[in-house]
């Protein structure tokens, strides 16, 4: 009986830890159409409560591909990417 309760305790603890871990890294993704052509040109990733973890993808020349990834932390970091913009997503106003 004690072995069963110990196993149950381990299982419950594992589930609680995995829930905490997934909550810690859950983030919000929003899509924007800055030039009004109906296509995504800005994708923002926000981590509520996560300081210096937000980042975004930018299609500044509106050719349907993200070319910049910007990280927001103590300092702003930027890198070049080449990623197609998503379609079939809800655009924010
Ligand atoms: Ca582009």
Distance 75 CA to ligand 1 centre (A): 24
User: What is the distance in A from the centroid of ligand 1 to the CA of 67?
Assistant: 5
Whole-model pTM over 0.75: no
- The per-residue pLDDT for range 56-67, each reduced to its tens digit, is 999 999 999 999
Q: Domain extents for the chain?
A: 27-92
Distance from residue 60's CA to the centre of ligand 1 (Å): 6
Q: What pLDDT, on the 0 to 100 scale, is given for residue 19? A: 41
Distance 30 CA to ligand 1 centre (A): 18
pLDDT at 16: 44
Burial pattern 55-82, b for ≥16 Cβ within 10 A else e, equals bbbbbeeeeeebeebeebeeeeeeeeee
Q: Give the residue ranges of the chain where pLDDT is below 70.
A: 1-25
User: Which residue from 47, 85, 88 is spatially nearest to 69, judged by alpha carbons?
Assistant: 85
How many A from CA of 62 to the centre of ligand 1? 5
Query: Strand runs (DSSP E) across the chain, as ranges?
Result: 28-32, 42-46, 55-58, 65-72, 76-84, 91-92
């Amino acid at each position: 009986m004690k072995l069963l309760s110990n196993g149950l305790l381990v299982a419950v603890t594992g589930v609680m830890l995995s829930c905490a871990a997934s909550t810690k890294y859950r983030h919000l993704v929003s899509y924007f159409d800055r030039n009004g052509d109906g296509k995504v040109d800005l994708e923002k990733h926000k981590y509520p409560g996560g300081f210096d973890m937000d980042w975004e993808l930018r299609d500044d020349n509106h050719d349907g591909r993200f070319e910049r990834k910007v990280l927001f932390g103590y300092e702003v970091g930027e890198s070049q990417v080449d990623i197609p913009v998503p379609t079939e997503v809800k655009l924010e106003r």
